[in-house]
Amino acid sequence: QLQLQESGPGLVKPSETLSLTCTVSGGSISSSSYYWGWIRQPPGKGLEWIGSIYYSGSTYYNPSLKSRVTISVDTSKNQFSLKLSSVTAADTAVYYCARGCGQQWLIDNWFDPWGQGTLVTVSS
Amino acid sequence: QSVLTQPPSVSGAPGQRVTISCTGSSSNIGAGYDVHWYQQLPGTAPKLLIYGNSNRPSGVPDRFSGSKSGTSASLAITGLQAEDEADYYCQSYDSSLKGVFGGGTKLTVL
């Protein structure tokens, strides 16, 4: 059974870089059948797709975050990571990692399963 | 403001049928892209409920069904149960914005 687990600092200072890692267990991140994504949810608000990555390293980012986001993959550790630079209070959210499914890369992908999420607070 | 529009809330009594709409545009749902639905119970991560407009993953009760027409999609829940009280989100692909979610709908079981 595939499981995903987010890890990283729960508190980040404004203007600094948020860094999170998602560890995948129970399956290989190098599978050509799946993709890997980051989604966030501000407290009391809805879901926002941040970006997705294929095991080869190909990435797609939310245009509204593209200038600040970097997603990378480490197949040797079965992990993928998120970096969000120049954070502000508006970046305070629960950050989820999830497996992307579907026949086409990015298009018509759905996310299943999801990690439990990790709350990241941006505050000085 | 979400690209996919959902009603903020819906409610129904146990045993009733409720529907949740997800309205998009010609650059996402109307372009033929699939719609997926997630259920988020309080304090938990979203869980896949429907994929590819109308497909249920293993383990999801057949009380949940999805449909799509034109620029909109709908999630229907029949035989409403107290345990269905949760937030529901639709998701699709947008030709400009890529991955997009609806704003979410809070279902209250009366």
> Rounded CA gap, A96 and A6, in Å?
7
Comparison of pLDDT for B2 and B66, the residue scoring more? B66
Residues of B in contact with A37 (CB under 8 A): 99
> Rounded CA gap, B28 and B78, in Å?
27
Q: Using the predicted structure, report yes or no on whether residue A107 has a pLDDT greater than 90.
A: no
DSSP 3-state of B29? helix
The answer to whether A97 and A38 have CB atoms below 8 angstroms apart is yes
Residues of A in contact with B57 (CB under 8 A): 112
Residue B100 pLDDT class (50, 70, 90 cuts): very high
Q: What is the DSSP letter of B56?
A: P
Residue A69 pLDDT class (50, 70, 90 cuts): very high
Residues of A in contact with B96 (CB under 8 A): 63
The answer to whether A94 and A41 have CB atoms below 8 angstroms apart is yes
Which pLDDT score, from 0 to 100, does residue A106 have? 80
What's the mean pLDDT in B51-64?
A: 97
Q: Using the predicted structure, report yes or no on whether residue A104 has a pLDDT greater than 90.
A: no
- Work out the mean pLDDT of chain A and round it to a whole number: 95
Question: Choosing among B3, B4, B36, which should be mutated to test the A contact, i.e. which has the most A CBs within 10 A?
Answer: B36
Q: Using the predicted structure, report yes or no on whether residue A24 has a pLDDT greater than 90.
A: yes
What's the mean pLDDT in B73-96?
A: 96
> Rounded CA gap, A36 and B21, in Å?
27
Residues of A in contact with B44 (CB under 8 A): 116
Which pLDDT score, from 0 to 100, does residue A103 have? 83
Which pLDDT score, from 0 to 100, does residue A108 have? 87
Q: Which residues contact B51 (CB under 8 A, 6 or more apart)?
A: A101, A110, A112, B34, B36, B37, B57
Which residue of chain B has the CA closest to A51? B99
What is the per-residue pLDDT across B11-28, written as a single tens digit (0 to 9) for each?
A: 999 999 999 999 999 999
The answer to whether A72 and A81 have CB atoms below 8 angstroms apart is yes
> Rounded CA gap, A60 and B84, in Å?
33
CB–CB contact A114 B102 (8 Å): no
Percent of chain B with pLDDT over 70: 100
Residue B1 pLDDT class (50, 70, 90 cuts): confident
Q: Using the predicted structure, report yes or no on whether residue A105 has a pLDDT greater than 90.
A: no
Measured in angstroms, the CA of A16 and the nearest CA of chain B are apart by 26
What's the mean pLDDT in A65-85?
A: 97
Residue A8 pLDDT class (50, 70, 90 cuts): very high
Q: Which residues of A touch B (CB under 8 A)?
A: 37, 39, 46-49, 52, 60-63, 96, 101-102, 106-117
On the 0-12 / 13-18 / 19+ scale of CB atoms within 10 A, A41 is: buried
What's the mean pLDDT in A25-50?
A: 95
Q: What are phi and psi of A100, to 5 degrees?
A: -95, 135
Q: What are phi and psi of B88, to 5 degrees?
A: -125, 135
What is the per-residue pLDDT across A87-103, written as a single tens digit (0 to 9) for each?
A: 999 999 999 999 999 98
CB–CB contact B57 A112 (8 Å): yes
Residue A45 pLDDT class (50, 70, 90 cuts): very high
Closest CA to B88 of B59, B57, B49, B55: B49
